[in-house]
Structure 1
């Protein structure tokens, strides 16, 4: 079950990070030029480059903060419980079990193909 749990955990982590970034990007843009992206785009190349550099620096800082928060022990434990719950629900659902079996066969086939070209 480890591969399934790992895939569910990865999907959950990606969803959480995506949500955090989707919420923060408009805020970062609002800090520059009052959130008016057109003002940045219509400016000179130098002004655009300066705004781009500031935005990317702020984005990098926020991404680092988000990743740190995502991997606190409390968040890891919370996600582990969610993964266990999701995997249990899938195992109890006949359709979910069939999809899981199909996916596992596909993965085994894909790995076999990659190892034996």
Structure 2
């Protein structure tokens, strides 16, 4: 019996202060943004050793997302999500990516507004 293995890395609820928004009042200062990312990895790249060097570097992924999110002003969540998506999709062994950005303070009557990009099926 052959079993197909899929591997996924999840980063959920990463909060950062991001300069984001197209409206004048959004440009007055940073806003809280919550970022989720899921990365599907090739089964062939499963670690053969129990060492950090043999696997996806979680610290690097987190740092990369934060660096992108705080690097400049984004008018749109769509642009922020796309830059993060493209960065993660370019990593070795990655076969799919999902990125979700959310602005929890955008509207008083909504828990959050969010945008998601995904190549996962």
Shared topology, TM-score over 0.5? no
TM-score by length of structure 1 reads: 0.32
Structure number with higher helix proportion = 1
Which is higher, the Rg of structure 1 or of structure 2? 1
TM-score, normalisation: structure 2 = 0.31
Which protein is richer in strand relative to its size? 2
